[in-house]
Amino acid sequence: MNDHPPARILVADDEPLYLRTTGDLLRKSGFDCVCVSDAHAAMEALSKEPFDLVLSDLNMPGNLKLELLHRGREFWPDVPMIVVTGVPSLPSAIESVRLGIADYLLKPVKYEDLLASIRRVLAHSIEESEAGASARSRLEDDEIFALFPEIVSGSEPMRQVLEVISRVAHTDTNVLISGESGTGKEVVAKAIHQHSRRSSHPFQVVDCTAIPESLFESVMFGHAKGAFTGAVQDQDGLLKQCDQGTAFIDELGELPLASQAKLLRAVQDQAFTPVGKSQLVRVDTRFVCATNRDLEVEIQAERFRQDLFYRLAVIHIDLPPLRERGSDAILLAESFLRQFQRPSEQVVGLSDEVAECFLKYEWPGNIRELRNVVERAMALANSDTIQLTDLPKPLLERSGKPRTVDSSFSEISREEALDAADYKYLNALLQKHGGNVSKAARQAGLSRQGMHKLLAKHAIDAADFRG
């Protein structure tokens, strides 16, 4: 009796009839089959879920220089690959052998021959896996978390993310990080940079929501003195400032189409011309981008360029929301407790009831919301552990926890209670508007200057709500 689940095979080919027919035949033979029509989609699929085998065409979009073969061997060395091509060549055959491709088949290939090759390669892969399993232990999971101490986690969804980061970090491959607001996209981007060969060079944050479209070229690429009114001296752009380093393009999905075209040229050429100059500036920059939008939907709606997506999303990391990370909510809360701890403060942990509440709550604002809840609770706590009475009422209601009346709350002055309400209101506003101070001020009926004063009073950084 076979206890193994069906082998998962990724089929990549740009011929629709071959792709559909092969996929159907493999499924009828008992395999779990995923079909994609180009190399970009294949690499994205590999970065998101595990496969036992890749069956790949050569002459298809995104693989004209054997990119899928090269990156497949680099990032997923344990996943065997079979090449099936209708345009064979000696150089591609030699390169396939050099890369350790398991088989090189010519179209048209009889299904019996293809099936025999697949079963032979899978059998060999299983033998190698079982032989190596005795030499491995669960310690590997502990090691992967230890590699990235800046990312607080112990959950399986994040272990998979860290596995990808560990393979990607040392390369120069562009990475797209997607996920809901507050899931820690910038933290992951910094981890990729810090574990790369570029770690001693700048990590430059480019916030697409903070750059007016009319100033995009000047801010990104720099300008010459006199190029426009107010250009009193030559100025390097953000890309020049992170030469040899990493450019973190935050809120990529908010970039206007005209600016997308300009960014595309800089990404693909690693060169640009500053405003008001004629000399080309060349850089060596890695691009790591983040968005909370579904860029494939944006492409369909013609709000985002497909060619730019393929340039920047060579590896796509989709961060899980906090509600899918299990006990990570507790680990993160304890981390924030240590971070906010002051010598004069007594709060050292969470009560059991609060821990249970955190596990049940869905955290729509993700890690950012958790951070604010912990900071607020520490300010209101009257014991050495955070209690249910220290948590916001909406959180308790949505986690199914009743809020009891704490007589000690009366010890807080009216001024302190109002400050706590202001703090909560400001956090909610910034959360709603993604850290945009101008929009938050308009909703609150305040001037931008007045909003900044309030934020300074409560030690709130609007930048924490972006990305």
Architecture of the CATH domain 8-133: 3-Layer(aba) Sandwich (3.40)
In the chain, CATH 3.40.50.300 covers 141-320
Q: 433: number of CA atoms within 13 Å, CB side?
A: 18
Which residues belong to CATH 1.10.8.60 in the chain? Answer: 323-465
Q: Per-residue pLDDT tens for 339-348?
A: 888 766 678 8
Residues 229-284: tens digit of each pLDDT: 777 788 888 999 999 999 999 999 999 999 999 999 999 899 999 988 888 999 99
pLDDT digits (tens, 9 = 90+) for 116-125: 889 888 887 7
What is the 8-class DSSP label of residue 244? T
CATH, range 141-320: 3.40.50.300
Task: Give the orientation angle of helix 90-99 with respect to helix 67-75, to 10 degrees.
Answer: 10
**Three-class DSSP category at 139:** helix
Q: Which tops the pLDDT comparison, 413 or 35?
A: 35
pLDDT at 407: 43
* pLDDT for the residue numbered 405: 41
- What value does the mean pLDDT of the chain take? 84
What is the number of helices (H) and of strands (E) in the chain?
20, 16
77-87: pLDDT as tens digits: 888 999 998 88
pLDDT at position 358 over 50: yes
pLDDT band at 406 (very low <50, low <70, confident <90, very high): very low
Percent of the chain with pLDDT over 70: 90
Q: Does residue 131 register a pLDDT over 60?
A: no
The position carrying tokens 């903070």 is 210
Round to whole Å and give the CA distance between 345 and 347: 6
* Helical segments of 7-61, H only: 16-28, 39-48
Q: Which pLDDT tens digit goes with each residue over 35-63?
A: 999 988 898 888 888 899 999 998 888 88
Which amino acid, residue 192?
I
CATH 3.40.50.2300 placement within the chain: 8-133
pTM for this entry: 0.61
Q: Is the distance from CB of 96 to CB of 83 less than 8 angstroms?
A: yes
Reported as a single tens digit per residue, the pLDDT across 170-225 is 888 899 999 999 999 999 999 999 999 999 999 999 999 888 888 899 999 988 88
The CATH class of 323-465 is: mainly alpha
Q: Tell me the torsion sign for CA atoms 110, 112, 118, 121.
A: negative
Token pair 């009319």: residue? 214
Question: Lowest mean pLDDT: which of 61-70, 398-407, 414-423?
Answer: 398-407
Q: Which residue has the higher pLDDT, 406 or 268?
A: 268
